[in-house]
Structure 1
Amino acid sequence: MTEITGGCACGKVRFKIAGPMMGCAVCHCRDCQKASGGGPNYVALAPKLGFAVTQGHARIYASRADSGSEVGRAFCGDCGTPLWTITAPLVPFNPVKLGALDDPSGMTPSAHLYTDSAQPWHLMHEGAPRFPKMPPMGRPN
């Protein structure tokens, strides 16, 4: 079984993901733009059952998604690195920031989300589907 590892810039928070990723996407929502410092967030969809923090403790910033569900944005409280998002209980994955992975080189975004919020200077991957908001499959029932 493949294991993917990652963590923050200062090394105080580390995590691992067992099993294959459920996809890779680019999120252009305004919350992601703010969390990234301007651009969209590139995320891998990590299966919740395969995700584990192996070192340290992330801080969590809680907010509401457009679905009304609470989401948590995990980050390192020391260096500020954005790490992952904690989704609603019925969503089977947590989006993990590609920049937090030790080796994100094998990740290729397959979709763009919240393109209605994308800035005109945000680049889009040719041929990848574009969704104005979150597609229905990404929402909890």
Structure 2
Amino acid sequence: MNALYLEPSEDSPKVYLDYSSGKLSIEGRSFMEDTTPFHQAIVGWLRTYFQSPQPLTVMELELEYLNTSSTKMLLDILFELNKFYIFGNKITIRWKYDPDDEDMEDLGREMADMVDIPFEHVVFS
């Protein structure tokens, strides 16, 4: 299975989903108004990946800003991961945020409350 790499742009984050390591990452800023193509690419890749996943899957999220449609997209991706977690796959979410960014810290805690997947909250500098 190939990795999925989406190059960051003015309004979208960098995405790297690596089958061989089980490491998934989304980082940067997301101002996308139409998240559909981005969302479909990620969810489609995840559905294929979880047909034969690695023993541990780690999703690292290091986001500086999300607009409303991007927040909804991210939540949909977390709900998709939650389905696989409920079916017995070992998944961890690592939410990374700047210590001065209370909004992203709060968003990570809110999202953690919406899913069953273990969340690690990591402050970076």
TM-score, shorter chain, exceeding 0.5: no
**TM-score calculated relative to the size of structure 1:** 0.28
Larger proportion of strand: 1
Q: Which has the higher contact order (CA 8 A, sep 6+)?
A: 1
**TM-score calculated relative to the size of structure 2:** 0.30
